[in-house]
Amino acid sequence: MPNDKTASKHSRQLIFSEAIAQPKAMTAQTASQGHTSPPVDQPALDATDRILQEIASVGRRLEVMDLKKTDLTLASSSIRADIAGFRETANNLDQRLSAVEDHIATTPDQEEELKSLRAKLTELEDRSRRDNVRFYGIPEHKEGSDIKTFLSSLLTNHFGIEFSPPPEFQTVHRIGPSHKASANKPRPIIACFLRHEQARQVISTAKARQPISLDGHEIRVAADFSRLTGDRRRAFLALRL
């Protein structure tokens, strides 16, 4: 079914066509009836032609206006669609902002939980290192090919510790890459004892018998801690000094 705009347009075209065709039809009808036309009033005909031309011009302008109105309707629909899209985007941004605000509100609690977890992790790491002992100042390659036998002999002969049973180690090795070692700064040796009591005995003996030397090199001994605990201990010792 045609819409109101199309019907209106067709009505105007029909009116203009009838207005233009009516004088011609009357002239043809008079001629067919055999009547003699009265004298033609040329100025009146010219005026009629101008009026008809103006009517036709108005009709064309109305058609152009109809086209423009259609374009405006389409543009308006597009603008409404854009506005709807903007509103949806704004709603999404508002939801995301609310989520961020909620996250910020819970951040202090999460920070406290993170601190607690870090403290527990540090404690567990320190517990796993409690059987370790670090030895500083032992020259590079002094241990030879059997570092466990070398360390056991060092503890007996230079530290004067009489172990019962003899010391046993899980692992003994130097810390760090060999290419960074030098005669003035040898890499430390770390030993993991099988028995915690023997590790504590080494540390307490070294503290009581300071200084301990090997071929003119001072040997220092320290417990093994996590990085965080080590940093805290160094900061504390710096304050004491």
Q: What digits encode the pLDDT tens for the residues 29-64?
A: 444 454 455 555 677 777 777 887 888 787 788 777
List domains and CATH numbers for the chain: 131-225 (3.30.70.1820)
- Tell me the per-residue pLDDT of 135-157, one tens digit each, with 9 for 90 and over: 999 999 999 999 999 999 999 99
Q: What is the per-residue pLDDT for 210?
A: 87
Measuring CA to CA, how many Å separate 65 from each of 12, 15, 194? 13, 18, 99
Beta-bridge partner residues of 212 = 219
Direct distance between the N- and C-terminal alpha carbons of the chain, in angstroms, rounded to an integer: 100
Q: Select, from the ranges 2-11, 100-109, 176-185, 190-199, the one with the highest average predicted confidence (pLDDT).
A: 190-199
CA distances from 128 to 48, 119, 131, 132, 225 (A): 113, 14, 7, 9, 9
What does the alpha-carbon distance between residue 61 and residue 53 come to, in Å, rounded to a whole number?
12
Write the pLDDT tens digit of every residue in 154-169: 999 999 999 988 999 9
pLDDT at residue 88, as a whole number: 85
Residue at 94: amino acid letter: D
* pLDDT in the model for residue 153: 95
- Six-digit token string for 103: 């996250």
Q: Over the chain, what is the mean pLDDT? A: 81
Q: Of 109-123, 158-172, 217-231, where does mean pLDDT reach its minimum?
A: 109-123
* pLDDT at position 183 over 70: yes
pLDDT at position 132: 97
Portion of the chain with pLDDT greater than 90, in percent: 37
Q: Which two tokens stand for residue 94?
A: 């508002």
Which contacts (CB < 8 Å, 24+ apart) does range 165-169 have? Answer: 167/193, 167/195, 167/198, 168/193, 168/194, 168/195, 168/198, 169/193, 169/194
Instruction: Report, as an integer, the average pLDDT of 215-231.
Output: 92
The 10s digit of each residue's pLDDT in 71-113 is 777 777 888 888 888 888 888 888 888 888 777 777 777 788 8
| Residue 193: closest CA among 231, 224, 220 | 224
